[in-house]
Amino acid sequence: MTFSFSNEVVRFLKENYNKYYTAREIALHIANAFPEDCDKKIRTSKDGYLKNREDCIVQWMREIYSSKNTWVKKGISITAGRPRKYYYIVEDIEKEKKFVKKMKKSIINQKKSYIQY
Domains of the chain by start residue, with CATH: 5-89 (1.10.10.10)
- Model's pTM, two decimal places? 0.75
- C-alpha 33/C-alpha 99 separation (Å) is 37
Residues of the chain with pLDDT under 50: none
pLDDT for 107: 63
Can you tell me whether residue 77 is helix, strand or coil? Answer: strand
pLDDT digits (tens, 9 = 90+) for 65-91: 999 999 999 999 999 989 999 999 876
Confidence at residue 59, expressed as pLDDT on a 0 to 100 scale: 96
Distance CA 104, CA 106 (A): 5
